[in-house]
Amino acid sequence: MTAVGRITRRRLLFLAPTFWAVSGCRRSAPPPAAPATRPAASLEAGPAAAYARYLAGMRICLDPGHGGDADRPGYKRGPTGLREAEVNLRVALMLREMLTEAGAAVFMTRENDTALSDAGAEDLRLRAEVANRNDCDLLLSIHHNASATNPDANFASVWYHGDVDDNPASLDVARHLAVALIDALDLPQTLGCPVLSDELIARTGFAVLRHARVPAVLTEASFHSNPDEERRLADPVYNRREARALFAGLARYAYGGLPRARLVAPADGVVIAGGSRSVQVELQDGLAQRRSWGWDRRQILRDSIRVRLGDRVLPHVYEEQPDRVWFIIPPDVPPGRPRVRLQFQNVFKHSNTRPDLGIELREGGAGGAS
């Protein structure tokens, strides 16, 4: 939109707020993938929340954990033999149905009782690769927990990879999913903080999350090692309740928008070492395209913007309208592929999903000669 267009719009807003609130939304085209009405109420648990419409167009990879392991005695089974792999798959298939109905594009790592590779490590890498290859907005790995020592244990947890600062967008998804599961499942225990790092379990975290280059979380909705919970998990109606909770969590995440940082200059990411070394990035708040009331005000938290080169924070300039950030690759950085990341948050405090800018610093002078 031009500056003139913005002024005109604001004047309209000042003169006739009620008119604009009603007619402005109608005049602006809605996002092409969003349905005009709420999703159909055909699911057992009742109608979906109105904001589930914002799932439309999202690309979601569902990973039902395990599979192809029925011949391993006692492997990932409850006290009477219920297999975790089967429960994970049932929940995932139900969730796929709900997400598809809401207009999301769903990619499954498996649809049958199979593994992607006989080698465990390769199996997990390939699962993450499904999300990477399909440019998904997120990877959700669906699991159920077990305790070898405490049959009473039964609580929900959601896991992210690495350090708490590494993957802020994964934390956004995890928070929504954790609260939705706790609300829906009514389990006997609740962790003080249900969002946990995979490094608490394994030194290098969970492979399926570690290999993901998109926001990725793993849910352990409840404990199949708990006899009462094993009984509940064997019931498809209860599985649907869990799928419904995951759906609600994902819908709430979608509602808050998925911000993006888009490289504007240099468009190909190649910075010439002897040139200006300047980089320009467009910040997309993930909300403006809805053209909802107030859409043309700033919806990015200014103080949330951080540009990092490795562990180093780079100074930047932020300009509103349009949301742009400028920064310089410092002169002491040698040619190569420095890891430059830009993070920011929108009004929902959702972080951008692709912080890595993919910058390459090449030898050469200001004229581009090399």
Q: Which residues bind Zn ion (CB under 5 A)?
A: 65, 143
Q: Which is nearer to Zn ion, 91 or 195 (CB)?
A: 91
Nearer to Zn ion, 245 or 305 (CB): 245
Q: Which is nearer to Zn ion, 239 or 345 (CB)?
A: 239
Residue 65 or 194 having the CB closest to Zn ion: 65
Tokens of 123: 């199996």
What three-state secondary structure class fits 289?
Answer: helix
Largest CA distance in the chain: 73
Cβ-closest residue to Zn ion? Answer: 143
Helix (H, G, I), strand (E, B) or coil at 152: coil
Minimum distance between the CB of residue 269 and Zn ion, rounded to whole angstroms?
38
The three-class DSSP label of residue 257 is: coil
CA distances from 356 to 86, 212, 263, 326 (A): 36, 13, 10, 15
Q: Please, what is the minimum distance in Å from the beta carbon of residue 218 to Zn ion?
A: 8
> Within 13 Å, how many C-alpha atoms sit on residue 279's CB side?
29
Judged by beta carbon, residue 122 or residue 360, the one nearer Zn ion is 122
Distances (CA, A) of 91 to 34, 39, 219: 25, 20, 11
**Is 37:352 a contact under the CB 8 Å cutoff?**
no
Nearer to Zn ion, 157 or 346 (CB): 157
| Nearest distance, CB of residue 76 and Zn ion, angstroms | 6
CA distances from 326 to 83, 284, 342, 369 (A): 53, 15, 11, 24
